Structure 1
């Protein structure tokens, strides 16, 4: 039995976006997979990956430090040593990740390594890190990024099921972890009213206890007929309860959230609203048949940590009549765009998800995407590199190659 350890110490959505890597490892019956996560996400990880041995570590405890982590988790580390781990996949560039990866020999570690007191990136993370210099030209989804830590990687078609309505009504995620990525309550009310015109049944309001007040503020902004359909579940579902609701929905309306990734994992259709720092090509819902309304303001995607000089003006476009009209109609097909749809604002683009042999791709249905040519060229260059195939485009932009690869990459063989 070959034991593989994945160190994934990020949040809810990141646990699910590790799925392509985990599925790829489990495809070999000779592999056993261990997954290190934050202690608060153990139940979620065990629910998503019943065939994986999950280890909970107190990494998001505000009082926890790397030295404390080592002392408090001695039993877990001893178990890893006894398991004779053959490969470690270190997925995040953080202090805790480096501490854990440092327990193993550098040659065992894929991704972010710690060697002789220095944090190092492998060749693949280093290449992808360069994409962050120009995010609107970044074509790579996080699920595919981590999936390619394994070579060969799992087929994208085997990760998530296609989006299919389940008959259980409409789900609404009231807020994301970042406030600026969340639609204001008055705009969200209009979005819900539009989508509810074509979806029967309950309207389930989803979120933590922090969203109970937005849920109360939302109710009086809706017509009485829609108020009667509301099922306020904010702060009332654990991980299994959330899964049970989401897996039965016809549609989930959501910002960029972990619940969005849970829906994609379950094959529940998603209509997502990406604004502020959220960029669909990086963290959009994975699989066939989801939709994303992407803000393409000149300042998007922004830096979440920096103050917004425009008071999050990007949110206002989601209340446009053209957006609401489309939400009130049946979901768009993957075919050519219908000409009788009203045009959305210039600051928005409607995308539909699809898959090819490389991973997640987006098909624009309305609006204009920035840097389309550069993004396409970079994706094709990454695709030809990772799959070791001849590019579909004979000529690739020189700027794409220069952005992703530097001269030392061709001269020094780094793991």
Structure 2
């Protein structure tokens, strides 16, 4: 019999306070500002859990949208939730040890600057209304906006890396999601997302309903009030009896129902993160302007299926139509979903899924989440996937720059790139030389790079170009930021010497 999760279970990992080796003598509170969407709030939960373990007993207040925070409070790590409108009155007159702003709204940045605090991270507005990003990893996240092709850090980690010891993250273990078994299994289909390009059309879900039913599975349509029309159309087009619960469940009811299901097939959306947090296994259909490396399901044991296209993992779709969404194939999705719903994961290793790639979420030796390829790619051309080698290289570089590991990691990643894709390795080296020339010219002229600086370089160079652009802008091109920029460029270029 499968273990059950209930809404009020105090032993769920998200609710425990954790332990610290040394008592925390500082009793000043911590404030976390997360005023974005539901999924962003759920990706803040690992940070809250780690803060509780680093600072047991320290009060933590989260500023969030009441419509999300209220229904989800019982599965959140312990925190006091207030709305943005309440926050100034509740927090503005008490000294805090730490304020972390994870939101992008100007009001959030102003609040982060107004709360009395020893340390502030994320976007913070000063008395003159100028917003600057504080924290190395917070600045890194800001730098990959529209330049995230080779970003390989998940947002749940980027929320925390400036304040949570790497050793604590490495020691964190997450429970595996519940697995199904033989027989007729129930599969939830979440039909919506925050943007039309991020979710499949009703006709796809109609095809998927028929394919799942043909394989002996029971599909159930799920969605919020905004997805009622999508669910109705998918049910109508399917032409078969199907349970349609779109618009009929609150977040609490959705989470509880999920404990009775074997799989959730979902685009990248808030309910997907709710499912992952509560142990409901996820098959994420990663389509539209999203990167599964950054915002796919975070915990280990979940799966990502996406069309294999050169533009996958974008920030904004630049094509005339959302090609990855339009290439979804219901039969191939149903094949993977059926294996997962019945607990037949091992049969997916090395599977050929033409036109698609299947990945599984795992944690590496540093406790950082990565995507492990399961399916054979069938890629054209010799050697390993160049895009993934470049992504691994920049992951290693920034991890070294910000102190996660020593210089052996970027050296090893550069060597793997040279061995696997020598032409790409050489091109990246030339691109760094070009970046050095452009940066030197700007610095000699006393010019701070504008927002078009990084976009002028090849995608493989943009992670560093984007970070240097934001670093110099964030510091008004002062002497310290110029010296740091030159040092980072020199250290990275040295990996290509010889």
**Normalised by the shorter chain, which TM-score bucket?**
0.7 to 0.9
Cα pair 2:91 2:115 within 8 Å, conserved: no
Q: 1:190 to 1:240 in 2, by over 3 A?
A: same
SS of the equivalent of 1:134 reads coil
Q: 1:382 to 1:210 in 2, by over 3 A?
A: same
Q: After TM superposition, give the deviation of residue 412 of structure 1 in Å.
A: 6.0
Superposed CA offset, 1:369-398 (max 9, x none): 661111011122233445542244534446
Structure 2 residue 139 is matched with structure 1 residue 126: yes
SS of the equivalent of 1:217 reads helix
**What's the counterpart of residue 354 of structure 2?**
344
Superposed CA offset, 1:28-68 (max 9, x none): 313211000013223134123262100023xxxxxxxxxxx
Aligned counterparts of 1:137 and 1:166: Cα–Cα separation in 2: 34
Structure 2 residue 343 is matched with structure 1 residue 317: no
Greater C-alpha radius of gyration: 2
Structure 2 residue 204 is matched with structure 1 residue 187: yes
**What's the counterpart of residue 298 of structure 1?**
310
Q: After TM superposition, give the deviation of residue 138 of structure 1 in Å.
A: 1.0
2:369 pairs, out of 353, 360, 364, with 360
**What's the counterpart of residue 393 of structure 2?**
377
**What's the counterpart of residue 62 of structure 1?**
none
Structure 2 residue 96 is matched with structure 1 residue 85: yes
**What's the counterpart of residue 261 of structure 2?**
249
2:78 pairs, out of 35, 44, 51, with 51
Q: After TM superposition, give the deviation of residue 358 of structure 1 in Å.
A: 4.4
**What's the counterpart of residue 178 of structure 2?**
164
Aligned counterparts of 1:207 and 1:362: Cα–Cα separation in 2: 27
Q: Which has the higher strand share?
A: 1
Q: 1:378 to 1:333 in 2, by over 3 A?
A: farther
Aligned counterparts of 1:334 and 1:2: Cα–Cα separation in 2: 49
**What's the counterpart of residue 41 of structure 2?**
15
Q: After TM superposition, give the deviation of residue 81 of structure 1 in Å.
A: 4.0
**What's the counterpart of residue 224 of structure 2?**
208
Aligned counterparts of 1:192 and 1:387: Cα–Cα separation in 2: 48
Aligned counterparts of 2:368 and 2:198: Cα–Cα separation in 1: 25
Q: Aligned pairs, how many? A: 386
**TM score, norm. by length of structure 2:** 0.69
Q: 1:174 to 1:381 in 2, by over 3 A?
A: same
RCO comparison, higher one (Cα < 8 Å, 6+): 1
SS of the equivalent of 1:211 reads helix
**What's the counterpart of residue 64 of structure 1?**
none
Cα pair 2:123 2:133 within 8 Å, conserved: yes
Superposed CA offset, 1:109-136 (max 9, x none): 1122222421111232223333335322
Deviates more, 1:328-337 or 1:162-171: 328-337
Cα pair 1:6 1:90 within 8 Å, conserved: yes
Q: After TM superposition, give the deviation of residue 204 of structure 1 in Å.
A: 2.8
Cα pair 1:252 1:269 within 8 Å, conserved: yes
**What's the counterpart of residue 25 of structure 1?**
51
Q: 1:221 to 1:370 in 2, by over 3 A?
A: farther
Aligned counterparts of 1:216 and 1:157: Cα–Cα separation in 2: 45
Cα pair 1:211 1:234 within 8 Å, conserved: yes
**CA RMSD of the aligned region, Å?**
3.0
Structure 1, unaligned runs of 5 or more: 58-68
